[in-house]
Amino acid sequence: MQKKGNRYGVHRVLEPEGVLPQPALRLDNDFSEIYDNEILCDVATLNIDAASFLDIKDRAGNDPEKVARIIIDIVNRYGKHQNPRTGSGGMFIGEVTRIGAALKGRIDLKEGDRIASLVSLSLIPLRIDDILAIHMDKDQVDIKGQAVLFESGVWSKLPEDLPERLALAVLDVAGAPAQMDRLVRRGDTVAVIGARGKAGLLCCYQAKQKAGPKGRVIAVVHREDGKADVENAPFVDEVIVEQADRALDLFEKMVQATEGRLCNIVVSCVSREDCEMGAILIAKDLGKVYFFSMATSFTKAALGAEGIGKDVEMIIGNGYCAGHADLALDIMRQSTYLRDLYIKRYC
DSSP 145-189: EEEEE-TT--EEEPPSSS-HHHHHHHHTTTHHHHHHHHH--TT-E
pLDDT digits (tens, 9 = 90+) for 54-78: 999 999 999 999 999 999 999 999 9
How far apart CA 224 and CA 205 sit, in angstroms, is: 21
Helix (H, G, I), strand (E, B) or coil at 338: helix
180 and 123 assigned to the same domain: no
Q: Tell me: the pLDDT tens digits for 106-128?
A: 999 999 999 999 999 999 999 99
pLDDT of amino acid 292: 93
**Number of structural domains the chain divides into:** 2
Helix, strand or coil, per DSSP, at residue 5: coil
* pLDDT in the model for residue 278: 96
Residues 52, 83 within the same domain: yes
Tally of CB atoms within 10 A around 312: 18
Which of 158, 193, 228 finishes a domain? 158
Q: Say if residue 136 is in the same domain as residue 91.
A: yes
Per DSSP, the three-state class of 46 is strand
Asked if residue 93 and residue 208 are part of one domain, the reply reads: no
- Say yes or no: 153 and 180 in one domain: no
pLDDT of residue 272: 85
Same domain, 309 and 204: yes
Domain with 318 in it? 175-346
Taking 70 as the pLDDT cut, the residues of the chain under it are none
224 and 150 both lie in a single domain: no
Q: Are residues 282 and 153 part of one domain? A: no
Examine residue 168 and state whether it is found in any structural domain, yes or no. no
User: So what's the pLDDT on residue 225?
Assistant: 85
Beta strands in 194-281 (DSSP E): 216-221, 238-241, 263-268
